[in-house]
Amino acid sequence: LVSRLQPFSSTIFAEMTALAVRSGAVNLGQGFPDSDGPPAMLEAAKDALFGGANQYPPGPGRPELRAAIARHRARYGVDYDPDGEILVTAGATEAIAASLLSLTEPGDEVIVIEPYYDSYAAAVALAGASRRTVSLVEDDTGRFALDPGAVRAAITPRTRAILVNSPHNPTGTVFTRAELEALAALCVEHDLIAITDEVYEHLVFDGGEHIPLATLPGMRSRTVSISSAGKSFNCTGWKIGWVCATPELVSAVKASKQFMTFVSGGPLQPAVAYALDHELEWVEGLRQSLAAKRDRLSAGLADAGFSVRPCAGTYFVCADIRPLGFTDATELAFQLPERAGVAAVPVKAFTDRPEGWDHLLRFAFCKQDDVLDEGVARLRNLG
Ligand code: PMP
Ligand code: GLN
């Protein structure tokens, strides 16, 4: 393995899931739902599969999917031309990697907000760029907030781009308009490209709002907006994602994307188009059900002795292990499947620096209620 990829030989999700499977643990580690998406979307995929949609789709994605993505984005008040400003990718993961490969030169710096989704560091390394991490800061409510001063301090003449994930995995933070405005101002001032990971765009709770960075002044022209179907429609295995940006940025991203996968998910693309156009009510039900699951798991973890942080969106809650007498969440995460029969992910796995993140475990609540209850019951005797 080449040296720039050596730190990334296996993902924490694969490791924890393998451990969970081996030990029969309840898997609250890897974030994937254990129920299916809207039945009519599954039917649409079946119809496409048996209707002959089994050859290469067009390079930018099937036209009906690009049109549906444009209509969906327009709901936020930002318009994209389906021909030239939208590119369908193999999940958000490929979109992120292709964006970095196409838009950063070796030696460029990319600002990454920490904790960060694991593929970001690997994709920056693949591109030969270097990452500058900026930590979120816990406020006195336990919310992990953006510190714009720290972002400013990380910008250098070599900074080319910033990766922004909101709703945020793993903390569950949803950036406020003020936080996004501060980021936007820095991007404009320093002429940075923003690459936004919005895969949890629909999973925002308690009346909160997802605000795409591209909708803020000065950002439409410099933002590569990325999302995918997996989290909105319970189909994480479909790997249908997309990029929305200016024609220049989209054609740049396409230049690397076309040589990684060329295209993918032919018969799934019309089904996702159908879901974006017709299943947002279903997504609203999912959102409400996930909010209730967040409450259920948070209450259970608190009952088991953890100190649980607030979560405004995503699939995840973070829990402090110190009240139970533990200090190192990584050590605990590796013991937990054997010791308690539950798998979780240490937040430290999403950071460059352990300080401040050592004591947090991430638990996924995108599971059936009886799975969450069983997980909590098993954790009750941990302390
Ligand atoms: N970004 C974040 C923040 C994620 O949690 C995930 C994992 N689901 C992805 C990207 C990957 O998305 P996809 O499966 O569409 O590649
Ligand atoms: N996004 C999911 C998580 O954060 C897992 C994705 C993966 O396994 N790569 O848990």
Q: Where are the domains positioned within the chain? A: 3-37+281-379, 56-278
- Kindly state the tokens that stand for 283: 């997504």
186/11 Cα distance (integer angstroms): 32
Residue at token pair 């006195």: 140
pLDDT for residue 41: 98
Q: Which of 32, 100, 175, 199 to mutate to test the pocket of ligand 1 (most atoms within 8 A of CB)?
A: 199
pLDDT for residue 289: 98
Q: What is the pTM of this model?
A: 0.97
Ligand 1 contacts CB of residue 230 (under 6 A): yes
Amino acid at 305: G
pLDDT for residue 310: 98
pLDDT band per the 50, 70, 90 thresholds, residue 129: very high
How close is the Cα of 236 to the center of ligand 2, in Å? 9
Residue-wise pLDDT for 3-34, tens only, equals 989 999 888 888 899 999 999 999 999 999 99
Residue located nearest, by CA, to atom 7 of ligand 2 = 13
How close is the Cα of 258 to the center of ligand 1, in Å? 20
pLDDT for residue 353: 87
How close is the Cα of 225 to the center of ligand 1, in Å? 13
> For ligand 1, what atom is nearest to the CA of residue 169?
3
For 270, counting Cβ atoms within 10 Å of its Cβ (0-12 exposed, 13-18 middle, 19+ buried), the class is: buried
Q: Mean per-residue pLDDT for 228-240? A: 98
Ligand 1 contacts CB of residue 91 (under 6 A): yes
Res 381 pLDDT > 90: no
CB 186 within 8 A of CB 155: yes
Q: Which CATH class is domain 3-37+281-379?
A: alpha beta
Residue-wise pLDDT for 47-85, tens only, equals 999 999 999 999 999 999 999 999 999 999 999 999 999
pLDDT band per the 50, 70, 90 thresholds, residue 355: confident
pLDDT for residue 229: 98
How close is the Cα of 250 to the center of ligand 2, in Å? 25
Residue-wise pLDDT for 138-183, tens only, equals 999 999 999 999 999 999 999 999 999 999 999 999 999 999 999 9
pLDDT for residue 383: 73
Residue located nearest, by CA, to atom 8 of ligand 2 = 13
Residue-wise pLDDT for 142-154, tens only, equals 999 999 999 999 9
For 276, counting Cβ atoms within 10 Å of its Cβ (0-12 exposed, 13-18 middle, 19+ buried), the class is: buried
Res 228 pLDDT > 80: yes
Residue-wise pLDDT for 247-295, tens only, equals 999 999 999 999 999 999 999 999 999 999 999 999 999 999 999 999 9
CATH number of the 56-278 domain? 3.40.640.10
Ligand 2 contacts CB of residue 30 (under 6 A): yes
Q: Which of 12, 89, 113, 117 to mutate to test the pocket of ligand 1 (most atoms within 8 A of CB)?
A: 117
pLDDT for residue 130: 97
CB 190 within 8 A of CB 215: no
pLDDT for residue 215: 98
How close is the Cα of 199 to the center of ligand 1, in Å? 6
How close is the Cα of 336 to the center of ligand 1, in Å? 25
Q: Assign 85 to helix, strand or coil.
A: coil
How close is the Cα of 229 to the center of ligand 1, in Å? 10
Ligand nearest to the backbone CA of 164: 1
